[in-house]
Amino acid sequence: MRFTPTALGALLLAVSGLTQAAPYVVDAKLNSSSGGTGLSTISLGLGQSFTVSVDAEDLWSAGALPRWSNANGLSGALYATGSDESGQAVGTLIGSNFGLYSQGNLSAAYGSLVGQIGGGDYFVVGTNYAGNAASAGTLKLFYWDSQAGDNTQFITANVNAVPEPESYALLLAGLVAMGFVTSRRNKA
């Protein structure tokens, strides 16, 4: 089977469209679990594999010092680097352990990146998450906190969904159809 440049381009476009990867900006105030709304990202099918990653140097805040954290939340001492979002001098304590906040089914560190699929249970995403969707629906991302009023900054979450088997079946059917058309064209 020989592909024309146009057919090859269409094939590459189809294959690249199988993965749903995109960056999403999660705002600590607007997307707070208390007083905000979850940021809608991608639609997932039941059992579909997906990943979420956030740079560990990407910070957001729950208010006055020391309340800066990355997506893993306020779980330990964090010191300013001089180039981070806090604007504090190098070595200043900008984050510390504030314990756990409980809402719905989940207890997690304040300032954590948390997900929810459809109306399902909350789960900790943090800086790196890989798993399968426990329910079908849109993945929403939250800043985990008891009060949105003093939250500032945002993090960028890279969300990637692995295509469902039906997508691969559709691609295979398209390849077979392209092969059939190409072979008929070559015979004519």
Above 90 in pLDDT, residue 174? no
- The residue length of the chain stands at 188
Q: What is the pLDDT of residues 130-140, one digit of tens each?
A: 999 999 999 99
State percent of the chain over pLDDT 90. Answer: 75
CATH number given to 18-163: 2.60.120.430
pLDDT digits (tens, 9 = 90+) for 61-115: 999 999 999 999 999 999 999 999 999 999 999 999 999 999 999 999 999 999 9
**Residue 21's pLDDT is what?**
82
Spatial contact of 22 and 70, defined as CB atoms under 8 Å apart? no
Residue spans of the domains in the chain: they are 18-163
Q: What is the pTM of this model?
A: 0.79
**Position 3 pLDDT exceeds 90:** no
| Cα-based distances in Å from 178 to 10, 14, 186 | 10, 12, 12
CA quadruple 109, 111, 113, 114: dihedral, nearest 10:
60
CB 128 within 8 A of CB 112: no
Looking at per-residue confidence, does 172 or 52 come out higher?
52
- pLDDT tens by residue, 125-172: 999 999 999 999 999 999 999 999 999 999 999 999 998 555 444 444
Band (15; pLDDT cuts 50, 70, 90): very low
Residue 7, judged by CB atoms within 10 A of its CB (0-12, 13-18, 19+), counts as middle
